[in-house]
Chain A
Amino acid sequence: MLVVRPTSLPLAIGLALFAVAGQAFSDSAAPNVPEPTPSQLLNVPVTKILPGDVDLAPNIKNPVADDSAAAARGMKYFANFNCVGCHADNGGGGMGPALSNRAFIYGGKPENIYLTIAQGRPNGMPAWGPLLPSSVIWDLVAYVKSISSEPEESWGKTTSLEALKTEQVPAEFQSTPDPWKYTQPFADGQKPSGG
């Protein structure tokens, strides 16, 4: 018996939805920053090695970078589409890697994060592009950039009982798209303060 996976959309329907939905959602995006074109997105590298050592990568900005409400919208979508199930509240990580620090496996620029969400990745990230309008994904990018802005101290990371000094106020006590603003002393696995 031939088994057809139900997630294989005919390409035409998918692209049409993408276009139509993008139109519907673009009302909520900041009007002045243009969305990147498909060919610009296609040319975003996932590696630092560019032949000729010449930077021909497209210069892309998150279309909602100047929209102060984007991260809050992205936080809602982060729960709505179950990102929180794999990446945890505030991006702590779990089944998926942490999004609460500046290390990104597939690149930390907005366009890298956009493509990771849209295309999925071979080691388990699902592909959301055929499903979600681009404006939703850009809002998610804004949220991920917000929660990953850890207080940066060094280029690498030292781990020791002494080096682990602070933790975030946990998500059961507060809900914010900017969790690094709220920290408390590291609890070493004991009950957190505020508990």
Chain B
Amino acid sequence: MSAPNSLLVALGLSALAVTVSSLALAASPGSGHDVFMHNACFACHGELGYGGAGPGFRGDKMLAADDYVVGRILFGGGIMPPFGGELSDVEIASVGTYIRNNWGNQFGAISPEKVAAARQTLSGGNAQNPPGAQGATQ
């Protein structure tokens, strides 16, 4: 490849990289684990799923109810802050899937569409007792 061509390729590649990366920044980080770490979930729920200030997720049967999981993340409750304003549907779906399927859990995935729908159907008032959970408290 001649020198000027390789220069163009380089510029094109770097432009592409910047575009891809800004998309990445806007859309979501690559994995539920990254959402979990970069939004301080780990501080209360622990990185090994053993909890802390918040409940542990290992073998936590409450996680089976996906409405509960989505509702909690969207609207918070007790000492848990709401993340609905912070995180996109993709990110919430991603981290919800992560906690439901990590550390030996196998509770299935959550889709971004589910999260989008929950924003409509679950209001802040319902967040304390979303359908499928029993009197969720800290």
Contact = CB atoms under 8 A, between A and B. Distances in A.
Are A and B physically bound partners?
yes
Interface of A: 6, 9, 13, 16-17, 20-21, 23-25, 28, 76-77, 80-82, 130-133, 136
A78 B19 CA distance: 43
Interface size class of B (residues with CB under 8 A): 10 to 19
Given A6-B37, A9-B38, A13-B39, A20 B82 contact: yes
B53 interface: yes
A25 B53 contact: no
A17 B38 CA distance: 10
Contacts of A6: 37-38
A117 B82 CA distance: 24
Question: Taking chain A's interface residues, is the majority helix, strand, or loop, or is none over half, making it mixed?
Answer: helix
Interface string B17-32: 0000000000000000
Contacts of A28: 79
A108 B83 CA distance: 34
Contacts of B83: 20
Interface string B37-58: 1111001100000001100000
B85 interface: yes
